[in-house]
A and B are shown apart, each in its own frame.
Chain A
Amino acid sequence: MSLMASKRARRRLTKGFVYIFLVMASAIVIFPYLWMALSSFKPIEEFFTYPLQWFTKNWTLAQYAGVLEDPKFLASLWNSLLVSSIVTALSLILSIPAAYGLTRLRAPGGKSVLVGILSSQFFPPMIFFVPFYIILSQFRLLNTIPGLVFAYLSVTLPICTWMVATTFRNIPRELEEAARVDGCGDIKTIFEVVLRMSLPGILTAGLFAFVLAWQEYIFALLYTTTTAAQTAPVLLFYYLGQHQIDYGRLMAAAVLLSLPVIFPFAFMQRYFRQGRGEGSIKG
């Protein structure tokens, strides 16, 4: 009997250690963001005090004001929003009918085509560095929003199509057949049954495309050298490149850049937690 009791006590102790471990891991994960947020409200003089002042007594919004008064930053935010919205819309417009055709209409070989499309996201972005540059410059699309949209579609389309197709595959076929018996054509079936049933999945795919485009940095750095189409992540890079790095402003800008991603994330994490995100490796 005492053996049972000691066993239970030991199990409880192990549980305790597991929770302590998870709390520590979560703390390490959250800490950089916490530190960024704390820093963004500090007056700039306190950045240089030694030893570091973790919690300021003089909370200030000066860093945010500085960023939001910078027309270059505002323009870059607008560019980011524009590019991300266009890319999201195009990704959904192209991937929904394709996923429908390849899964619901049971196109022969549809599964292989989908796997082929998905596998293109394993391609290193570096194989596109030079060809994209040449193509974009040939069509005079360097430093333009359409140029960026073109490059981003190569990133968002494969994953979007895969996510939408996964959702479509889970719709019971009987529902669709019932709609057909009721006399719905393809288009009507798409709108009445398939889209309505898979709205959460489509929304997730759209948010994912938006977040990918919002955070995209490599192609934006390569193909926007002027401010005309520069997106916010690239502008942050230039803030960093200044002779004297203005960390206060950088932190405030980074907070502003991260905010729009928090809400989609709260929605999307359900999808990833179900382990369905395995095919979606773009971070």
Chain B
Amino acid sequence: MKGRTKFIKGYLFATPLLVVLAVAVLFPALYNLGIAFSEYNAASNSWRFAGLQNFAKLWNSPLFWNSFKVTLLWVVGNVFLQLVIGLAVALALNSILWFRGPFTGILLIPWISSFVVVAILFIWIYDPQMGVLNDILLRMGLIEKPVAWLASPQLAQASLIVANTWKFFPLVMITLLAGLQDVSPELVEATQVDGANWLGTFRMVIFPTILPSISTGVLLSTIWAYNSFTLPIVMTGGGPLRATEIFGLHIFKLAFDAFDFGAAAAASLVLFIQIMIVIVLYLKVVERD
């Protein structure tokens, strides 16, 4: 009887939140699922079941496959860069005592920055004529004439990935920094006494210890890369020639340019499934350890 009242009381306190979440998260998510399998009839303003029609439409659409490819490149590029930079910075921070706090604070700034402000900062930095990046590279003699970073199909994706990495490496950094606290100093010392150099110590002691943190960092940056929207839509709008049209932008265009709600919902499910696969893989890796 006591357990029952506890159950009721605990959930009584949680009820308002759970109701709002049901209305604002669960219901829209299920609604989206329904739309993905339906066709909208504008004449009668109604929906009817359409089976896999929306998915078939995506399957046959070159634009969808373009966005699939672009997204894959975007995710791999972002995760790789963020991991390399995040790891380097985390190792550096972990090896110092003086000013560790202030350095960490400064290096966290991009993460807390607003997406729109970051997008505007980088448009301005990348600007061919007025941008400071070209100015610096010209002064250093690394390029001979201004480069159109965002206007060239070959460079736009890479330029966006760099901007996005600037925004997100702190997330990987802070995750790995937390993991590095578990590395035993005695073990590091012992390995060094045995004659291992820095790389050997990293490979034999540090890396195995922080592997779970690395997996978490990779998971978080992968999810974030898949869920990206603001940076590309503000900086390139998916162009030039759809070279940066990742899933988020493709879904946006399907929904609000073509007003094909069914296809947009179906594409968002494809995105959702990809993220689920990544999470399942992560759980597999973590469980194995």
Contact of B123 with A by CB under 8 A:
yes
Contact of A283 with B by CB under 8 A:
yes
Interface residues of A in 82-129 (CB under 8 A from B): 94-95, 97-98, 100-102, 105-108, 110, 113, 117, 120, 122-129
Q: Contact: A275 with B124, CB < 8 Å?
A: no
User: Which of A65-73, A197-205, A264-272 is found at the contact surface with chain B?
Assistant: A264-272
Contact of A236 with B by CB under 8 A:
yes
Q: Contact: B14 with A130, CB < 8 Å?
A: no
Pick the most buried of B7, B117, B267: most chain A CB atoms within 10 A of its CB: B117
Known contacts A26-B107, A120-B25; A127/B32 CB under 8 A: yes
Residues of B within 8 A of A61 (CB): none
User: Nearest residue in B to A110 (C-beta to C-beta)?
Assistant: B10
Contact code string B30-42 (vs A, CB < 8 Å = 1, else 0): 0110010000000
Q: Contact: B96 with A15, CB < 8 Å?
A: yes
Q: Contact: B6 with A106, CB < 8 Å?
A: yes
Contact of B207 with A by CB under 8 A:
no
User: Nearest residue in B to A30 (C-beta to C-beta)?
Assistant: B106
Residues of A within 8 A of B168 (CB): 283
CA distance in complex: A257, B268 (Å): 31
From A48, A153, A222, A233, contact of B24 by CB (8 A): A153
Contact code string B1-37 (vs A, CB < 8 Å = 1, else 0): 0010011011111101110110011011101100100
Q: Contact: A105 with B6, CB < 8 Å?
A: yes
Known contacts A39-B124, A131-B28, A275-B181; A265/B112 CB under 8 A: yes
User: Nearest residue in A to B88 (C-beta to C-beta)?
Assistant: A21
From B93, B108, B223, contact of A122 by CB (8 A): B223
Q: Contact: B13 with A101, CB < 8 Å?
A: yes
From B35, B96, B229, contact of A22 by CB (8 A): B96
CA distance in complex: A250, B234 (Å): 13
Q: Once A and B bind, how many residue pairs between them come within 8 Å at the CB atom?
A: 264
Q: Contact: B112 with A129, CB < 8 Å?
A: no
Contact of B121 with A by CB under 8 A:
yes
CA distance in complex: A276, B116 (Å): 26
Q: Contact: B14 with A97, CB < 8 Å?
A: yes
Q: Contact: A133 with B255, CB < 8 Å?
A: yes
Tell me whether chain B's interface is mostly helix, strand or loop, or mixed: helix
Cβ distance B237 to chain A, nearest Cβ, rounded Å: 10
Contact code string A146-181 (vs B, CB < 8 Å = 1, else 0): 000011011001100100000000000000000000
User: Nearest residue in B to A90 (C-beta to C-beta)?
Assistant: B20
Pick the most buried of B3, B11, B18, B166: most chain A CB atoms within 10 A of its CB: B11
The interface size bin for chain B is: 35 or more
CA distance in complex: A36, B121 (Å): 7
Interface residues of B in 78-115 (CB under 8 A from A): 88-89, 92-93, 95-96, 101, 103-115
From A124, A132, A237, A278, contact of B28 by CB (8 A): A132
Contact of A3 with B by CB under 8 A:
no
Contact of B64 with A by CB under 8 A:
no
Cβ distance A120 to chain B, nearest Cβ, rounded Å: 5
Cβ distance B89 to chain A, nearest Cβ, rounded Å: 6
Q: Contact: A122 with B32, CB < 8 Å?
A: no
Q: Contact: B17 with A94, CB < 8 Å?
A: yes
Contact of B224 with A by CB under 8 A:
yes
Contact of B58 with A by CB under 8 A:
no
Known contacts A122-B279, A269-B108; A98/B93 CB under 8 A: no
Which B positions have Cβ atoms within 8 angstroms of A? 3, 6-7, 9-14, 16-18, 20-21, 24-25, 27-29, 31-32, 35, 88-89, 92-93, 95-96, 101, 103-118, 120-125, 127, 129-130, 132, 135, 138-139, 166-168, 171, 174-175, 177-178, 181, 216, 220, 223-224, 226-227, 229-230, 233-234, 247-248, 251-252, 255-256, 261, 264-265, 267-269, 271-272, 275, 279
In the A-B complex, the 5 residue pairs with the smallest Cβ-Cβ separation, listed nearest first, are A107-B10, A101-B13, A275-B178, A98-B17, A215-B114
A-B contact pairs, 5 of them (CB 8 A): A32-B125, A48-B129, A108-B7, A125-B248, A126-B271
